[in-house]
Amino acid sequence: MNRMRSGLIGAAAVGIALLVTTPAVGSPQPAATASLTKSESQQLQSRMAEQLRRHPGGTVVASNEISYENGAVKVTLPLKDGAAPVPAGATGTPNCDSGSVCLYEHDNFNGTRVSYTQCGIYNLGDRGFIDKMTSWHNNQTGGVRAVMYDVDGNGRIYDYDQLVVGSNPNVGRSLNDRANYIRPC
């Protein structure tokens, strides 16, 4: 009986230690958020929680990144509103991982970034990104083109832009904030 009680007490202590030392979902990790003020860190936590509330089913994989569909889709929030989506990327520099195609909310690869690594047709609304793309970076290998789709006023879906390997810091007025779907490859 004492052995069983010791085991239960030990397991409870481990559980409490994990609860105390494990950051909550969406809480910033110190390395990625060291330059943020307490207020900025709280704002980031709030934006991460809001993304998960509006678009459930994701897994927090970094202080500002949520993975969906077993890593096929990632939403990366800027550490600060409107800034580059990852701390390592300089403003105005495409920073999409090799083998991915990335869409950015603002020009010059700033704002929220949504990245895709697997073939298929994805509804951008599923991740809160419908009609929000202003810049893109296609960093897939072998010359793979990604295709963007829009929906017209009559509900027809049509191909409106093909993203060749490379990047575009600003899609221009006629294509800005029109993407509804993407086919990465």
- The parent domain of residue 116 ranges over 24-183
**Average pLDDT of the segment spanning 146-163:** 74
- Whether 35 is covered by a domain: the verdict is yes
- Count of domains observed in the chain: 1
* In 19-109, beta strands by DSSP E: 59-62, 65-68, 73-76, 101-106
The pTM for the full model equals 0.76
Is there a domain that residue 130 lies in?
Answer: yes
Q: Is residue 5 part of a domain?
A: no
Task: For residue 47, tell me if it sits in a domain.
Answer: yes
Tokens found for residue 133: 């793309």
Contacts of 162 (CB under 8 A, 6+ apart): 145, 146, 147, 148
Q: What is the mean pLDDT of the segment spanning 89-110?
A: 84
Q: Report the pLDDT value the prediction gives residue 126, as an integer from 0 to 100.
A: 95
The answer to whether residue 145 is domain-embedded is: yes
User: What is the rounded distance in angstroms from the CA atom of residue 78 to the CA atom of residue 81?
Assistant: 6
Measure the CA–CA gap between 122 and 27, rounded to whole angstroms.
28
What is the average pLDDT score of the chain?
78
Residue 14 domain flag: no
pLDDT by residue (tens digit) across 65-86?
999 999 999 999 988 766 666 5
Dihedral sign computed on CA atoms, order 119, 120, 126, 131 = positive
Supply the CATH number for residue 57's domain. 2.60.20.10
pLDDT band at residue 21, thresholds of 50, 70 and 90? very low
In a domain, 10, yes or no: no
